[in-house]
Structure 1
Amino acid sequence: MKAYTISDKLVAWLAYVCIGLFVIAAIIPFMTIVSTSLTDEQYIRANGFDIFPHAITLDAYKYVLGRGSSILGAYQVTLFVTFAGTAFSLLLTTMMAFALSRREWRMSVPISFFVYFTMLFNGGIVPWYIVTTKYLHLYDSLAALIVPYTINAFNLIVLRSFFSTIDNAIFEAARIDGANDIKLLFNIALPLAMPGLATIGLFYSISYWNDWWLALMLVSDRELYPLQLLIRAITSNISYAASSGVNSSIAAAAIPKEGVKMATTVLTIGPIILLYPFLQRYFVKGLTIGSVKG
């Protein structure tokens, strides 16, 4: 059994201290957000923000959830876009990444270069808008919130590199047993690449969940508004009412502005936080589970 020296213990304790400080730095802002969403607006104006709630009230949540069908509809749109978009993006990204990782395919290097090129240069917003609306006909549809983000070049390159780390002897043995490319991908590569798939899936789900820009550009029907865009509209209306005229200012004064901002933050980040515990275990697994033995 290995004997731990004083220096090893010191390094371990320093690592624990650094991790503890990082956890505290991450938790305090979140506690402040939750606390502010539950604190009376008058107390916030008089005393500022605190990590613990004071003069507890649910006025901010009542104001946000008082939109009823709008909030519920936005949640449904966002949930559908997140789940469908993540599944669709993972499927296409996985297939393309696996193809580009195969060394025997001559076109893998040129196509990988074109994928990387899109990370450095793009055509701009105007050409992108013309393509998505005039040629792809994505305006005012749920597809408009999914298709433009289907394949992310960075995620594709990361997953391609992940597939490249799998021992090629595994695929050669499967080919000897009669496996084709489809079986190599779904029966061999995917089970070994679960940590990478979980990571890329998390990236895609966060991207779809937090996005409001696509809806702002491609959606005019409020029934298709995702949660992020609807909440952006709510907070913008509060700020506009507070700065536009005496009567509007008096009406806006009754609205818990800071509480509403924090309540909307809690409502939007809550579901995505719950996703982390289910994917955490994949981050610590080996890259080639069940690899070829000696």
Structure 2
Amino acid sequence: MPNSFRAKIGNTLLHVFMILFSLAFLIPFLLVIAVSFSNEESLLKYGYKLIPVEFDLEAYRLIFGKPQQILYAYLTTSVQAVSGMICGLIVMSTCAYALSRKSFKLRRTITLFIFFTMLFGGGLIPSYILITQYLHINNTIFVYILPTLANAFYIIILRTFFQGLPDALVESAKMDGASEFRVYWQIILPLSKPALATIALFVLLDKWNDWFTSLIYIRDERLYTLQFLLQRILMEMEFLKTSMTYNVNMENVNLYKLPSESIRFAMAIVAAGPLLMVFPFFQKYFSKGLTVGAVKG
């Protein structure tokens, strides 16, 4: 059998495998979209279908029933996620740069201290006391940003990446009279885009999916994050349906048609939609940043 023919067969099998592998990720996402636009009764009757049997927007009508509240949730989530990501990158990258310099005498001690925080934490009660009684940032936008400015794992990843950069770059810059800050800002950061983009994506995902902070520290409904608001809508709807099980009358009988299934999938689309548009901008840096940070360590 000619080598060219074997190569064609191999390429064909590889393409078939990659297509099937891609469909394994794509089909569930398309199913989520289809179910979110499906009628609740058709779901109970026919099950989940890639093409809605009966097209219905009731799930989205319930979610966006109070558009102002959803708008505030999107705004709060976007502001705290983007601001927290930018501020966190600045804090963590400056810390990682200092720990990556061999001339910094305390770098081993501080690295050990940072690593220690990955193993042990103060717990919820000390954190609550610190935030509410000393910092007084509860029920403000700052409660989403300040307590999570630094993450020990991300600092170690950045430090490892910085250590992999050639020392000659720093030494030549200092010979030309560059300060530490200038070396960090104009040399180290531009060369660290893969690692920074990777950490930025992780931080953005963590903050976008945050709902626990709103549950514990926020009382103003205008400061609810999107995830917490969607969870609250779902819990209220489940409470209504459970209550009607024991108290049925003509006034609330129509509430039995609440889309308890399709609304879950609609919430997933509403919550994940913006990040699906952001992810492609990080994708080209994502794999490189993780690989280099891991191998160099």
CA distance in 1 between partners of 2:260 and 2:124 (Å)? 33
CA root-mean-square deviation: 2.3
| Alignment gaps of 5+ in structure 1 | 289-294
Q: Cα distance, 1:52 vs. partner?
A: 2.3
1:1-294 alignment, distance < 5 Å: 16=15, 19-244=18-243, 245-247=246-248, 250-283=253-286
Residue type of the partner of 2:127? W
| Alignment gaps of 5+ in structure 2 | 293-297
Say if 1:10 and 1:119 are closer, same or farther in 2 by CA, change over 3 A.
Answer: farther
Residue type of the partner of 1:131? L
CA distance in 2 between partners of 1:224 and 1:65 (Å)? 17
Say if 1:18 and 1:106 are closer, same or farther in 2 by CA, change over 3 A.
Answer: farther
The secondary structure found in structure 1 opposite 2:248 is: helix
Q: Cα distance, 1:164 vs. partner?
A: 0.9
CA distance in 2 between partners of 1:82 and 1:139 (Å)? 17
Say if 1:247 and 1:223 are closer, same or farther in 2 by CA, change over 3 A.
Answer: farther
Deviations 1:172-210 (A, max 9, x none): 111111111111111000110001000000001111111
Aligned length: 285
TM-score (norm 2): 0.89
Q: Cα distance, 1:38 vs. partner?
A: 0.5
CA distance in 2 between partners of 1:150 and 1:137 (Å)? 17
Residue type of the partner of 2:50? I
Deviations 1:17-62 (A, max 9, x none): 5544442222122111101110111100111112222211111111
Residue type of the partner of 1:246? N
1:238–1:252 CA contact under 8 A, matched in 2? no
The secondary structure found in structure 2 opposite 1:88 is: helix
TM-score (norm 1): 0.90
Say if 1:123 and 1:15 are closer, same or farther in 2 by CA, change over 3 A.
Answer: farther
Residue aligning to 1:292: none
CA distance in 1 between partners of 2:160 and 2:32 (Å)? 38
